Amino acid sequence: MGKIYDSIIYLVGNTPLVRLHRYEEAEHAVGHILGKFEYFNPSGSVKDRAARNMILEAEYEGKLKPGMTIVDYTSGNTGIATAAFANAKGYHYAAVIQPGVSIERSQILKAMGAELLQVSDVPGFCEMLKTGLSLEGLENVMESFAKSRGWFYINQCSNPANSRAHIIGTGPEIWEATDGRVDYVVQLVGTGGTLSGLSAYLRAKNPDVKIIGAQPAKQSLKDPAYPDRNTIDGVLKFDGVPDDKVPVLFKKFNTYYDECFDVIAEDAYETGRKLVRAEGFFVGQSAGAALWVATQIAKREEAADKNIIVILADNAFKYLSTNMYQ
């Protein structure tokens, strides 16, 4: 019988890598789940890494100058991170909020002094949505909007500095903390920056590492026709989608993944609830989904005694108004 349980914390850079358990017995040796707790970053999520690096690279390239306003389209975490670093660097930040995000995210952005805009405030945005959100369409309307106001569009969805943040930071931290024993990495996708950056770094160190993607199952995607359904906030479907919906950063970094799991929101929610009740780690929806996927990998015989790294993107304080912790 095997069971994952140690709760040994390894401090790694800004965020700890924690060995987690599976909450049930197995009939054979199991994989070791190591959770990277990204909510220890300054504004509370993995997106701090991308926001900081995008601002620093834009300054270095001369695209971002003192006193400018930074603008982006955001589901919340990258917006909060960008607001935090913009404040620290003396910039103003305007966030075009993705419809349907948790109320806490908007409240945090407002408290940080960000200017909150709706998609209806951006010319052409609503018209684009009528035919379905595309990354090319998003970039065109946002770039035009930013230029009309003299703002800097940071463009998290296709800015390679987003991915590079994980090539220079997250990836090396994981590699050092495990002494190079990285067998699987589990990650959900918003912009694709974390997965593409980790894939680039870790595959260069170990070509055999398995990159495991995860995405909301069809019944857990946002749908105006079902406003009360449980969803996994801040992440997108990327596997089995039309080419114009594949993350741009995947294409820029030649990213591929070995497998993708469809996760039902209820499974993600229950996994998050189990984690906080068993060990006190209070994680958000995508973290619950990623951990659920990691437990499925850990049960496989071929994963016995292998290290399964799971990126736990944020904590649950932004989800208190959702069904996850009701």
**Cα(318)–Cα(79) distance, integer angstroms:** 13
**Which position among 163, 286, 306, 318 bears the catalytic label?**
286
The answer to whether the beta carbons of residues 155 and 142 sit under 8 Å apart is yes
SS3 128: helix
Structure tokens at 272: 């998050």
**Which position among 47, 210, 306, 318 bears the catalytic label?**
47
**Cα(13)–Cα(283) distance, integer angstroms:** 19
Q: Is 199 annotated as catalytic?
A: no
Q: Is 210 annotated as catalytic?
A: no
Identify the burial level of 104 via C-beta atoms within 10 angstroms of its C-beta, where 0-12 means exposed, 13-18 middle and 19 or more buried.
Answer: middle
Element spanning 180, H or E: none
Backbone angles phi, psi at 43, to 5 degrees: -100, 5
How crowded is the C-beta side of 61, counted as CA atoms within 13 Å?
12
**Cα(190)–Cα(213) distance, integer angstroms:** 11
- Length in residues, the chain: 326
Catalytic positions, written as ranges: 47, 286
